[in-house]
Structure 1
Amino acid sequence: MVIFLIYLMLSWFGIGAWLIFDPAALESYAGVAALTPTGETELRAMYGGMELAIGGAALLALLKPRWRCHVLFLNGVVAGGIAGGRLVGVALAGNMSVYTLSALTFELSTVVICLLLARRLQRSGESNNG
């Protein structure tokens, strides 16, 4: 559990910090570019700020075990929502890039692992401990 939470924290923090400071990096690896300063701010918010916040939640779960089930739920819902949107995008575009496949792998595996770990926490009663 702890190793997975560290993995989530580092993954979300890493990409979030990178993209809050360098949103133009999305263009080279994902084909996403800001056309205006407002677009650049949006990329910083959604790819930087949101991912930093999710990483912060994972850090909270590491420091406060009573939050672990909630943070697993958050990560599962967020990763599942992103994966769902990505799958719709693939279906509509009729294209699957290496980037898209790797992102889907992260997102779908995160959903599955979060579900399994949350179920284990609930069964053991750990989700109520502080």
Structure 2
Amino acid sequence: MIAIVVAAVFFAGMGIYGLVLPAALVRPFGIVASGPDARNEVRAVYGGFGLAIAGLLVAAALDDGIRRGAVIAVAVALGGMAAGRLIGALRDRPRAFYPSWFYFCVEVVLGGVLWFAVS
């Protein structure tokens, strides 16, 4: 249960940050979200998605009937994000640990903890 709550807080934080400060959220990646369409995209993908996943995890924490499926879905999504970062790293070879490898580690650890929490 603790893993689910921690993951929900992580996604809620990302979601709120993405909605309120979209340009700041992507800046560490070298992305400039200067126009309204770019900020809207960040708000949708990081903000809306983050809050939706946080809500799903809260529902999973409260409802035994959906817990296993919801948590596995989030764990698999985190695994997919980590895999995408790994493929990108093999292609583009980021030099700094932050932000790419840092978030890779967060996704692997959080996804693994969630996976094992319901296994």
Q: TM-score under structure 2 normalisation?
A: 0.89
% identity of equivalent residues:
27
Structure 2 counterpart of 1:56:
55
**For 1:52 and 1:32, how far apart are their aligned partners in 2?**
22
Q: Greater relative contact order: 1 or 2 (C-alpha under 8 angstroms, separation 6 or more)? A: 2
Structure 1 counterpart of 2:14:
15
Q: TM-score under structure 1 normalisation?
A: 0.82
Distance 1:118 1:27, change over 3 A: closer
Higher alpha-carbon Rg = 1
AA of the residue aligned to 2:117:
L
Distance 1:107 1:27, change over 3 A: closer
Distance 1:79 1:96, change over 3 A: farther
Q: Tell me how far 1:48 sits from its aligned partner.
A: 0.6
**RMSD value, Cα:** 1.5
Structure 2 counterpart of 1:113:
113
> Which runs of no fewer than 5 residues in structure 1 stay unpaired?
120-130
| 1:24 partner SS | helix
1:104 and 2:77 equivalent? no
